[in-house]
Structure 1
């Protein structure tokens, strides 16, 4: 395991730089638009284009990678993302920024596919659960670290944008210097949303609601913080606390999902998240730290909705359907992420900044209603029949189905050897192959 981690060190550095830079940019954009006095409704529409681009990237970016190879594709995607970041401060225009967000979402999906498929190619039956955990810890910490960078420059200037572009550009270096051959992308089985809903209505809707809530917070959270008067440092704490809380809450909720009925765990989770969301809206104004506490609890708990939805769905699937179901759940999450910023922005225009959390609590209430008295109320497996629970994120689900320890077909794709070849073919020949 130690040798495998050492072999992946260059890739991990690329992940840290890329995820940190992209997370920094996402918060910076919402904050900058709020400082410019753009209305929440317009901000929501601008930022939602990232989700449109990301969903498109999960569907089509893999074709580019297959055509030119992982290293070249990574360099191209990173160059486009870095260039788009540098364009933002040149002109604060809704149409331009919306287009840049769509481009950024598409290439970011491609970058994630490259990194995660490379990461999963190192896994075998002995180390894949550990690698699965390492990847998610690195992802969460890099995202939280990106929030801290907000403190390093005036969001109204160009320096923060330059810093984000530098991080993305530097992410190319470690991966480009690796001596390992590129992994192979394996196209998985597909499952339609209609078929998924027929087998797991709660899993389908839970994934959609999770995408809606998470995207709404990432897009409009900085706007909310700015509108209630938080300074740049407080905005950094506000955003970082939510991400750290998501990582912390993963373990206890996972334990509950293994010991109790996951259906009931989701209902209780949604109830607690809704309560914390309302508390953030109406009690959080007492002080910045009280707000950070409730927002951290809200986001930490809300972030577990997606893995619970995945676990509930997998309990109802045949073993050979798990990978296809994961892809469909990701699509459901993506649809939710395209809705979230627009809904929350409309609520903020109607009710003020608190509308962000009031609308999210309302959506969680509808999810609970669906599960308790709606179509979601149906027979589900007992605790003894449940599959093992694994914390996952939508980002992991893009290209790491093989790394997921629940995948029964994993042995068909054995990990690459960790031995480094004595003589390497040229980079051009490897990529051509």
Structure 2
């Protein structure tokens, strides 16, 4: 067990460095492009290429990992990402930054698959739920911490880009020093988006809308903040507060999902998020405190739409379909993330900075109408619903083995031909970890 704890601490350090550096870079790029007076539409298209690259990476980066192994692949991906970050301040050109964003998304997906599959491989029946919760917590806190780093230096200079590159490079160290055997990536089950929609229309659309809204905020939130005149410190608080709110609101919404009909919870959550988005659009720079409160509520509730969509869908599936369902939901989320930034940027060009939250409210209104009048499927009674699991889609590429809903893995472990001591087994050898490579 001590060896397992040591291995996990190394992984957690790598995760913190990588996620903090990447989150910092995302906010820095949006702010820098806004300072350079690029149009909102062009900023949206530049930044959304990260989502296209990330989706591509979830589909194909796993093949690189299979060929060269986890540690070599991690080193390659991290080196490419760090080098690409150092190129940004050399030439502030739209085409170049767009290509760098797509490349960054691809290699970041590969890095996430390596770390998450490695983290997942340390699970056994006694610690799976705990490890899943720890990983989600580390991911949220690291993302929020990355926003604070924007205060370190003038975003117009090269120093913040160097800091982001340093964090990515340092993430190599703990994982490269581990002596543990690498986990094995296996091809997961697949489900088409059409089949997912047929099985759970609300789940499929909920995941897509969540991807659209969250990606729009991460990409265009700094542009909005700069557009209404927030200074760097206020922008840092604005972004970090929204991410912390997503973490804080996850638990109470999860409790509601376990006690009430999840279709109704998603409908109410969408209504509340739409109202908060409209209020944020109207407040603008009138009151920083009120703006942070309503944007925090908006993002906190919006972040729960994806896990609610997952819960709604999994309630309709057999246990052997859950892995394939998760893969399809991640793909639906990825499709939405490719739409979010350009759509919100279009509204920001038409209406100014507050167009970000106007477009979000309109998208949520569409989801509300779909929930009320769209096709429905028979769903289980509240007493028969599965236990709600809080998760972030960006932090679940390689965590199929950790999700407590995946009873297939538990059954395979518990009913195997020979009983083994989980601690001993995991200290001596890393088991094979199924990985979903969709986003």
Asked whether the two chains share a fold, i.e. TM above 0.5, the reply is yes
Which bin holds the TM-score, normalised by the shorter protein?
over 0.9
Cα deviation digits, residues 101-121 of structure 1 (max 9, x gap): 000000000000000000000
Match of 1:33 in 2: 33
Number of residue pairs aligned between Structure 1 and Structure 2 = 420
Does the 8 A contact of 2:275 with 2:361 survive in 1? yes
Q: Shift of residue 186 of structure 1?
A: 1.9
Instruction: Assess, with a 3 A threshold, how the Cα gap between structure 1 residues 413 and 160 changes in structure 2: closer, same or farther.
Output: farther
Match of 1:419 in 2: 427
Cα deviation digits, residues 32-52 of structure 1 (max 9, x gap): 000000000000000000000
1:250 aligns with 2:250: yes
Does the 8 A contact of 2:51 with 2:338 survive in 1? yes
Q: Shift of residue 418 of structure 1?
A: 4.0
Match of 2:381 in 1: 382
Distance 2:50 2:394 in 1: 14
Does the 8 A contact of 1:224 with 1:353 survive in 2? yes
Match of 1:57 in 2: 57
Distance 2:4 2:246 in 1: 27
Q: TM-score, normalised to structure 1's length? A: 0.95
Q: Shift of residue 419 of structure 1?
A: 3.0
Distance 2:5 2:277 in 1: 39
**1:15-414 equivalences in 2 (<5 Å):** 15-375=15-375, 377-411=376-410, 412=412
Match of 2:434 in 1: none
Match of 1:430 in 2: none
Q: Shift of residue 379 of structure 1?
A: 2.7
Distance 2:65 2:145 in 1: 28
Cα deviation digits, residues 278-333 of structure 1 (max 9, x gap): 11110243211211111111001100000000000000111100000000000000
- Structure 1: which 5+ residue stretches go unaligned? 422-433
Distance 1:128 1:168 in 2: 28
Q: Shift of residue 187 of structure 1?
A: 1.3
Does the 8 A contact of 1:284 with 1:290 survive in 2? no
Which is further off, 379-388 or 129-138? 379-388
Does the 8 A contact of 2:140 with 2:244 survive in 1? yes
Does the 8 A contact of 1:402 with 1:410 survive in 2? yes
Does the 8 A contact of 2:191 with 2:325 survive in 1? yes
Distance 2:408 2:259 in 1: 26
Q: Shift of residue 3 of structure 1?
A: 6.5
Distance 2:15 2:395 in 1: 12
Moved over 6 A (4+): 413-416
Indicate the RMSD between aligned Cα atoms, in angstroms.
Answer: 1.4
Q: Shift of residue 96 of structure 1?
A: 0.3
Distance 2:205 2:2 in 1: 40
Cα deviation digits, residues 84-109 of structure 1 (max 9, x gap): 00000001111000000000000000
Does the 8 A contact of 2:4 with 2:427 survive in 1? no
Q: Shift of residue 402 of structure 1?
A: 1.2
Distance 2:398 2:187 in 1: 10
- SS of the residue corresponding to residue 390 of structure 1 reads coil
Q: Shift of residue 385 of structure 1?
A: 1.5
Q: TM-score, normalised to structure 2's length? A: 0.94
- SS of the residue corresponding to residue 304 of structure 1 reads helix
Which is further off, 112-121 or 401-410? 401-410
Q: Shift of residue 2 of structure 1?
A: 7.4
Distance 1:340 1:413 in 2: 40
Q: Shift of residue 277 of structure 1?
A: 0.5
- SS of the residue corresponding to residue 108 of structure 2 reads helix
- SS of the residue corresponding to residue 178 of structure 1 reads coil
Does the 8 A contact of 1:116 with 1:400 survive in 2? yes
Distance 1:389 1:362 in 2: 28
Distance 2:2 2:132 in 1: 15
Instruction: Assess, with a 3 A threshold, how the Cα gap between structure 1 residues 371 and 319 changes in structure 2: closer, same or farther.
Output: same
Distance 1:266 1:184 in 2: 37
Q: Shift of residue 382 of structure 1?
A: 1.2
Q: Shift of residue 413 of structure 1?
A: 6.3
